[in-house]
Amino acid sequence: MSTGSLGGTILRRLVLGLPTLAGVIVVSFILTRLLPGDPAVYFAGAAPTAEAIAELRKTLLLDHSLWDQFVAYLVQLARGDLGRSLVTGQPVVKDLSLRFPATLELTGTALALALSVAVPLGIAGALRKGRAIDHICRIVSTMALSMPAFFTGLLLVFVFYYLLGLAPAPLGRVDPMAFPLPDRTGFILMDAILAWDWSNFRDGLAHLVLPAFALALAGIGPLTRVTRGAMLAVLTSDFIRAARSYDMPRWRLVYVYALRNAMLPVLTTSGFVFSFLISANVVVEKVFSWPGIGSYALEALVASDYAAVQGFVLAVATLYVLINIAIDILYGIVDVRVRLAG
């Protein structure tokens, strides 16, 4: 259990993730060159001047061979230059750095919420199979799978904002009238804590609750099912039967023996659920006017803002690779066989 091997694992996984990232970069490059028209115009942003376009043509080496263009493209990427957005006129990188934390805060909270509901529920359902809690577990997971995130969001707004008046209006991350927060991390809750600003913290939290819950419900469906299924499978396995024959105390049997083994399929599903939540983000951001990358991508697609779309694709692909690496590492921590096999 040396940390050396853990560091090595991380490095190895990062290296393994590079081909996927490379593939995405290549594909996005090809796409921008396949589009009709002058790529320089697309990347120059809104209402570019003729000089700006000429400048960009030189930087992107558009008058040279395709290979030179690709190298120039890579150089651009390395410098962190993803072009300018047509819609906002800003550099895409700046747009993303503003929007990304908003989505991450929302998705992260939603995933944490989903796991904290789905895993205990799935375990309870598996342990008391056929009893009341199991039926509740199955009903909840099936309902959650059948409800689109946009509908859940609207229902929540109707009940908690319109009927009960408990939640703030679905108009974004904070009350537009509130004192602005110093922007340090981009995460409202984190920034509020850092600035000891409790009213802003409460306000940010109040705005976060409903959309996080709507998004979480989308994740609860698959996660509950997988947890319950995995627990059921493990509970009927040979080594659990053997452990029972050694009179192992129930808490150790369930939590140390059964649960740890059942967590493996749950981990792999979490990766899929995260990707699914990123997708569902788009509709939830629309319902709650959340200024995240989902709505950014939507506006970009509609306006044919290629620089923004490409930036979005690269950002999401990178996030995806990193999440998968994290899951692989977690998997290796839980299951020794994977770790030792590299």
Partner 1 sequence: MALTAALQDGFRRDPLTAVTAGFILAVCVLALIGPALTAYDPLATDPANALMPPTWLRPCGTDQVGRDICARIVYATRLDLFIAVSAVVIALVIGSLIGSLAGFFGGWVDRIAMWVTDTIMAFPLFLLAMGIVAALGSSVENIIYATAIVNVPFYARTVRAEINQRRDAGFVEAARVSGNGPFRVLAFHLFPTTVPQLAVQMTLTMGWAMLNAAALSFIGLGIRPPTPEWGIMVAEGASFIITGEWWVALFPGLALVLVVLSLNLLGDGLRDMIDPRERR
Partner 2 sequence: MLAVDGLTVHFETRRGVVRALDRVSLRIAPGEIVGLVGESGSGKSVLSYAISGLLDAAARIVAGDILWYGTPIGPGREQRTTRAAVAQIFQNPRASLNPIRTIGQQLADVAGKRRVADLLRSVRLDPEKARNYSFELSGGQCQRVGIALALGCEPELLVADESTTGLDVTTEAAVMELIGDLSARRGMATLLVTHNLALAAAHCHRILVMHAGQIVESAPVAMLTTAALHPYTAQLIAATPQHCASADDLQVIPGQLPDLAGPLTPCRFATRCQRHAPECDEAPPPLVAITPDHLVACRHPLC
List residues near partner 1 by CB under 8 A: 20, 23-24, 142-143, 145-151, 154-155, 157-158, 161-162, 169-170, 275-276, 278-280, 282-283, 286-287, 297-298, 301-302, 309, 313, 316-317, 320
Give the total of residues touching partner 2 (CB under 8 A). 22
Site for partner 2 in 88-147 (CB under 8 A): 129
State the binding partner of 146 from partner 1, partner 2, none, CB within 5 to 8 A by kind.
Answer: partner 1
Is 180:192 a contact under the CB 8 Å cutoff? no
Q: How far is the CB of 153 from partner 1 (least distance, A)?
A: 9
Q: How far apart are CA 141 and CA 144, in angstroms?
A: 5
Near partner 2 by CB under 8 A, which window of 57-65, 96-104, 165-173, 231-239?
231-239
User: Does residue 202 belong to the site contacting partner 2 (CB under 8 A)?
Assistant: no
Q: How far is the CB of 274 from partner 1 (least distance, A)?
A: 9
State the binding partner of 238 from partner 2, partner 1, none, CB within 5 to 8 A by kind.
Answer: partner 2
Q: Can you name the residues that pair with 109 across neighbouring β-strands?
A: none
In the complex with partner 2, which residue's Cβ is closer, 51 or 238?
Answer: 238
Q: How far is the CB of 132 from partner 1 (least distance, A)?
A: 17
User: Does residue 252 belong to the site contacting partner 2 (CB under 8 A)?
Assistant: yes
In the complex with partner 2, which residue's Cβ is closer, 176 or 250?
Answer: 250
Is 271:222 a contact under the CB 8 Å cutoff? no
How far is residue 314 CA from its own chain's centroid?
14
Q: How far apart are CA 62 and CA 328, in angstroms?
A: 40
Residues counted in the chain: 342
In the complex with partner 1, which residue's Cβ is closer, 65 or 146?
Answer: 146
Q: How far is the CB of 4 from partner 2 (least distance, A)?
A: 18
In the block, tokens 């099912």 appear at 225
Sequence-ordered list of residues with C-beta below 8 angstroms from that of 214, at least 6 positions apart, any chain: 149, 152, 153, 156, 284, 287, 288
Q: How far apart are CA 92 and CA 268, in angstroms?
A: 32
Sequence-ordered list of residues with C-beta below 8 angstroms from that of 98, at least 6 positions apart, any chain: 186, 291
Give the other-Cβ count within 10 Å of 21's Cβ: 16
User: Does residue 248 belong to the site contacting partner 2 (CB under 8 A)?
Assistant: yes
